Structure 1
Amino acid sequence: MPNPSTFDPTVILDRLSYDCLRSYLDDCDNDPNRALDLYAWNAQIAAAFLEDLGRLEVVLRNRFDEALTELTASVGRSLPWYDRASLFPGKHAKNALRDIRKAKQRATDSGRRPLIHSELISELNFGFWRYLCSPRYHTTMWVPALYARFPNHPSGGNAAHIRADVESRMRQLQFLRNRVAHHKPIHRRGLVDDAVVIFELAQWMCLDTHVWMTGLSRIPDVLADRPA
């Protein structure tokens, strides 16, 4: 089998598809080599963001789980918070309840294994936690529990301001995460602002977490290596 040391960039453009690479070509004056360099860099910065988004997601879902577990215990309920119908009011909650059912199926291998709380929490996706930040959960979750998990928010403990600010940032990050997960271009985004949002949420939750995450992040170095 031949093992060429070089490749024809036009062949790679065809394999990846011109539609997929259109934004790269447009930003590189239709130069195929530069477009492929930008495409490769896009994958690198996407991977760097995925690392930080993953760390943020794990911390945030654990903080939410802690808060809602404590809330449920404080009112003398024996059921876990995700089984309390009163926390998920209205017709819009059906999507969250559907996500919980699917997470239970994955965590238990469709009922063939016992349900372990931590495994269920890890099976709930980023979108689930993002939608818990919406106004419909302000009274049932944010006022009694979730707002206090952001003690470093500049509002000084205003539940409405905290929920709204967290929701707007989670919405932004969910859009970014979906693009990264589907290998879509992010090279035209305001990536510095995206990074600020990630670390801002971390800081609002926990100063130690913020220091830890910023120390691990590869985003600044990859941003600095963007091809010309």
Structure 2
Amino acid sequence: MHTSPVPDPAQFFGDSRFSTYHTAAGGDTSLAYDLYAWNARLAGAFHEVLGHAEVAVRNAIDTQLRDWNQQQSDNPRNPGKTFTDQWCIDTAIPLHGLVATPLKKARNNAGAAKSSRPSSHARKHAEITHDDLVFQLSFGTWNHLVPWPNSKPTPQLRLWDEAVKNAFPGIKPGIEGLRQVKAPLNNLHSLRNRVAHCEPLLHVEANRRLQDIARLTGYIDQPIADWIMGQQRVRDVARERPAI
């Protein structure tokens, strides 16, 4: 609980940002600061477990896209071409159209990361690899690759049927399996954006979002899900919310 004098909220936050906490605290400025500090702790706790979930999803989908990409050959736009498993570098259609923009940003970010390495870094002069680019792709990219259920035929739906669904062996067959993945994945993408931009989490249902993480990662591999949930501290922090 905050006990020392609080700074001027208009100077620290700006009135519009602070008003969310001030209103929730019933006009009590000190309590509003306590809520803000708690919100930051909850964001930190979510950031940890969301990071674990993102890595699990990213690696699972990447594995399937590697297999799919190297199987694409004699594409109408590239007659006679044989693709490798390095889909971030040598991207087959229709995947190319889905990831062209995020891959451009990933290349820029990977290049900046390479330039910022100290001279003593083991990979200071190494070429940018497929893995470097995968690491730079955002959570939103993986969410975008999973289509909404009942959507009309789209490149995402084709890729789901041919590759992405195999990243989640624990799901049910058909459209029900797509629903199982898309709903929690989209929820977690939205939550991650709120956490990353330091937005208020006062109305986030922490237990439901943890269930999303457990279910989504469990569809990939149950031991992975169990390990991730064993690391989370969201429930403990959520219980520390200042009383209003």
Q: What is the TM-score normalised by the length of structure 2?
A: 0.79
Question: Residues of 2 paired with 1:101 and 1:10: CA distance?
Answer: 42
Q: Which runs of 5+ in 2 are unaligned?
A: 74-81, 116-124, 149-153
Deviation at 1:7, TM superposition (A): 4.5
1:78 aligned onto 2:103: no
> Does the 8 A contact of 1:13 with 1:32 survive in 2?
no
Structure 2 equivalent of residue 99 of structure 1: 102
1:66-107 alpha-carbon deviations (Å, 9 max, x no partner): 011112234464333233341337xxx46x211112212332
Aligned length: 216
CA distance in 1, matches of 2:222, 2:155: 26
Equivalent position of 1:51 in the other structure: 48
Which segments of 5 or more consecutive residues in structure 1 lack a partner in the other structure? 1-5
Q: CA deviation at 1:49?
A: 0.5
Deviation at 1:64, TM superposition (A): 0.6
Query: Aligned residue for 1:15?
Result: 12
Which amino acid letter does the alignment assign opposite residue 6 of structure 2? P
Q: Which moved more, 1:130-139 or 1:173-182?
A: 130-139
Deviation at 1:140, TM superposition (A): 3.1
The reply to whether residue 128 of structure 1 matches residue 125 of structure 2 is no
**Matched position secondary structure for 1:99:** helix
Cα contact 1:10–1:32 (8 A) shared by 2: no
Instruction: Name the CA distance, whole Å, in 1 between partners of 2:12 and 2:109.
Output: 35
Question: Residue in 2 aligned with 1:3?
Answer: none
Code of the residue aligned with 1:18 in structure 2: it is D
Deviations 1:26-57 (A, max 9, x none): 11111111111111000000111111111111
- Whether 1:205 and 2:220 are equivalent positions in the alignment is yes
Query: Which has the larger helix fraction?
Result: 1
Aligned partner of 1:84: which letter? T
8 Å CA contact retained: 1:41, 1:227: yes
Measured in 1, the distance between the counterparts of 2:110 and 2:239 equals: 40
Aligned match of 1:63 in 60, 63, 71? 60
Identity among equivalent pairs (%): 28
2:33 is aligned, of 29, 32, 36, to: 36
1:215 paired to 2:230: yes
Aligned to 2:162: 144
The ranges of structure 1 where at least 4 consecutive aligned residues each deviate by more than 4 angstroms after the TM superposition are: 109-113
| TM-score of the aligned structures, taking structure 1 as reference length | 0.84
| 1:214 to partner: Cα distance | 0.7
What per-residue deviation string (whole Å, max 9, x for no partner) do you get for residues 141-168 of structure 1?
Answer: 2112221221222x2x32x332333222
Q: How does 1:148-163 map to 2 (within 5 A)?
A: 148-153=166-171, 155=172, 157-158=173-174, 160-163=175-178
The question of whether the paired residues in 2 share the 8 Å contact of 1:203 and 1:210 is answered with yes
> Which one-letter code corresponds to 1:163 in the other structure?
L
C-alpha separation between the residues in 1 aligned to 2:216 and 2:129? 28
Aligned to 1:9, what secondary structure does the other structure show?
coil
- Evaluate the alpha carbon distance shift between residue 88 and residue 71 of structure 1 in structure 2; reply closer, same or farther with a 3 A threshold: closer
Query: Does the aligned pair in 2 maintain the 1:138–1:163 contact within 8 Å?
Result: no
